[in-house]
Structure 1
Amino acid sequence: MQAYILINCNTGSETSVIAELRKIPEIIEINGIWGKYDIFIKVKTPDPDGIELITKRLRNHPDITDTFTMHVLYGQGGSIDQES
């Protein structure tokens, strides 16, 4: 299972939230971003319930105020660097 998650957090807490998120092994990419959201993460887990568990963990973090989860649909697209 793979998902992209957009995160909003309390102003000024972005750096510390990113540092904490780096400790979660299922998060394979993390970036601070500008715009409506503060942080972008890519999550990959073999467990079908893994994305839900990570989302719950994020929502319980005291500095995270909002999340938006986008589940990947396999078979539609893929990485542009993959061979066809």
Structure 2
Amino acid sequence: MQAYILINCQTGSETRLISELMELPEVIEVNGVWGKYDVLLKISTNDPNGAEQIVKQLRNHPDVVDTYTMHVLYGQGGTIDHE
């Protein structure tokens, strides 16, 4: 399962949070972004509850204010269709 997670964080904590997120084995990509959200996280996990566990971990992080999770739909484009 793959998912994109949008994250709002405490002002000034973006760089530290991104560094921490890059250490998670499920993380494929993480970027700071401008706009409504501060960080875009792409994850992949074989565990059916993996995305939920990561979101719980994020929501308990002291620098994370809010998250928004979008699960990838297989068969609707992107590189995931070739797996």
Fold in common (TM above 0.5) = yes
Q: Shift of residue 71 of structure 1? A: 0.3
The number of residues matched between the two structures is 82
Task: Provide the TM-score with structure 1 as the length reference.
Answer: 0.92
Identity in percent: 67
After TM superposition, which residue ranges in structure 1, 4 or more long, deviate above 3 angstroms? none
Please give the root-mean-square deviation of Cα atoms over the aligned residues, in Å: 1.6
Specify every segment of 5 or more residues in structure 2 that has no aligned partner in the other structure, as ranges: none
Aligned to 1:3: 3
Aligned to 1:26: 26
Task: Provide the TM-score with structure 2 as the length reference.
Answer: 0.93
More helix by share: 2
Which one has the largest radius of gyration? 1
Query: Whole-Å Cα distance in 2 between the matches of residues 78 and 28 of structure 1?
Result: 14
Specify every segment of 5 or more residues in structure 1 that has no aligned partner in the other structure, as ranges: none
Query: Whole-Å Cα distance in 2 between the matches of residues 27 and 55 of structure 1?
Result: 12
